[in-house]
Amino acid sequence: MLKKNYFKKVLDNVKKTCNSLIVIFAFSVYSGNAYAQRVGEIEQKPKIVVGIVVDQMRWDYLTRYYERFTDGGFRRMMAEGYNCNRLLINYLPAVTAVGHTAIYTGSVPAFTGIIGNSMYFDGNWDSPVRDLGVTGLGTATKEGKASPHRMLTTTMTDELRLATNFRSKVISVSIKDRGSIFPGGHCANASYWMDSESMDFISSSYYMKELPKWVKDFNKQKLGAAYLKEYGRKKDKNGAYVADFWELMYDAQTYKQSAGLYEKYYDQRTGTILKYLPQGNTYTADMALAAIKGEQLGKNPEGVTDFLAVSFSCTDMIGHKLGPNAPWIEDTYLRLDQDFKRLFDALDEQVGKGEWVAFLTADHAGSHNVVFRQEHGIPASTWPYYRIMKELNDTLKATFALTKNPIHSLECHNIFFDYKTLKTDNNYSDSMRQSMIDLCIDVLKKKDIVAYAFETKKIPDYVPEPVRTMAINGYNPKRSGDIQVILEANVTEDYDDGYKKDYNGIPVGTNHAVWSPYDTHIPFIIMGKGIRHAWDNDTHTVNDIAATVCALLNIQQPSGCVGHAINVMRPAIDVKRR
């Protein structure tokens, strides 16, 4: 009896062991298949990524003009892509050079070193892309002397080049130099921007020895001059402009999301400059399409992913003149929507539908015009840049018996002392520095439009979030100014302060740079190969864009990246769910 029970237990154990082995084997096979599928998905990368930045685009333009967009442009992105509805800038200031850098580096000015559109370098006030050590290509002007050499971190485009041992092609295009140079990164095959005088697309010797034939052929068409001649403002025989701006695409009565045609806060001094016409965006799209064809982007013989960075800059130039409520702003985005459709259709045809990825974002947004807000009962004030700078300079000179203006700039609400000039003033000594800073802070704190003013390297504990973190992220100890000014909500810098002879002293157009959501809430949509369709209302930061694209491409994040990848990909098989 004992033997019978003993053998029964042995048989039961054998059965259990066999069943476990079968389960383990099956699980292993399934897991291997799942792993193989994941590896397959990693290997099936898009043939090209197209990064689109629309300068000064507010997130709410997507919903504001949705009914008038075509199915092939903005609507296509929203219908097919992953929509981040709450993507915010997390640093100060919200301006073009900083924004393009943050998008592509996944970092903040504290690490990138790009703290504004103009900065001090070796005691000289200059553009962050100026590089006197290079030669312009396609131009004899100083506009060709530019490169990314002042950016301190890598970009997602750099990391793509590194990950593929420089077999991937990276091309960037924009009318603005900084809108092209920073996205292209340090390792771009080429970055192209527009020469203001000739309206040709140019580059610099940082990238190559001479312009490629396809670029020279593109410039020979003189499309910029043709657009300007056809759509630019015309003058009558007396030299007066016969139209306020360009002719709208549709009847003016159909622009129901916009204010009237003749509001007093529109700045009409656009003259005949392509940068202030929506056709400048079309010209940019033309160049982007020429780059796809000329460089055979998306058809890399090495089988690796290429990258095209395109920044549409005219939206910013037009936005500054008008503000978000002008019918010409609505018209600009309706035209840009058609340019998007043209670009996406070309990618479908030349690269293959479902074989590419594109993302849309902005370097910053922009506020409503101050007069417009006041007329509708909304609190609004201006930061009169030049008048405040004059007041501070006059106060400092009188107090410290200085003969020269000690403040050079209030760039993006950062106050920069001009120490190079001060050192030539016989009445100045370095011991005055702290007293001068303290006096300026006292003057600024007394102004109703100022919420906080403090020394940039001594951010007070009482500055609330998220502004405190934004100020920290925007501070670079080697490049930032001496004083940071935080404006009250609904205060906008008067970009035209000091030049109001034609508008009865009222602030025209609009500006950007401050911490408020109207300047820092920007769109982010990504669509294409492997991307799922979803609506995401969680809060993300601009730094997450680079982290997300790098995760999608399975490459290293940029060297200064502080962002987190957003889960935009279609889900792979999950073993645990089975």
How many angstroms separate the CA atoms of 273 and 280, rounded? Answer: 9
402 DSSP 8-state letter: -
- CB pairs under 8 A, 24+ apart, for 445-449? 447/388, 448/381, 448/488, 449/381, 449/382, 449/383, 449/487, 449/488, 449/491
Q: Are 383 and 491 in contact (CB under 8 A)?
A: yes
Q: Which of 63, 70, 96, 101 is catalytic?
A: 96
212 DSSP 8-state letter: -
- Asked about 541 being catalytic, the answer comes back as no
Instruction: Give me the numbers of helices (H) and strands (E) for the chain, helices first please.
Output: 19, 18
Q: Which residues of 471-506 are buried (b: 16+ CB within 10 A; e: fewer)?
A: bbbbbbeebbbbbbbbbbebbbbbbbbeeeeebeee
The beta-strand segments (E) located in 188-232 are: 190-194, 201-204
210 DSSP 8-state letter: S
Q: What is the rounded radius of gyration, in angstroms, for the C-alpha atoms of the chain? A: 28
User: How many residues can be counted in the chain?
Assistant: 578
How many angstroms separate the CA atoms of 422 and 266, rounded? Answer: 39
DSSP string, 479-508: TS-SEEEEEPTTEEE-TTTT--SSSTTPPP
- 180: three-class secondary structure by DSSP: helix
Query: Beta-carbon neighbour count of residue 10 at 10 Å?
Result: 10
Angle at 62 between CA 56 and CA 66, to 5 degrees: 140
Q: Convert 340-364 into a string of H (helix), E (strand) and C (coil).
A: HHHHHHHHHHHHHCCCEEEEEECCC
CB proximity list for 102: less than 8 A, separation 6 or greater: 89, 91, 108, 109, 112, 542, 543
How many angstroms separate the CA atoms of 265 and 243, rounded? Answer: 16
CA distances from 324 to 84, 508, 525 (A): 21, 12, 21
How many angstroms separate the CA atoms of 201 and 287, rounded? Answer: 8
Phi, then psi, of 60 in degrees rounded to 5: -70, -5
How many angstroms separate the CA atoms of 53 and 195, rounded? Answer: 20
> Measured in whole angstroms, how far is the alpha carbon of residue 35 from the centre of its chain?
37
How many angstroms separate the CA atoms of 228 and 272, rounded? Answer: 7
Dig out the tokens for 520 from the structure. Answer: 């820092």
One-letter amino acid identity for 442?
A: D
Dig out the tokens for 63 from the structure. Answer: 């919903």
Catalytic residues: 96
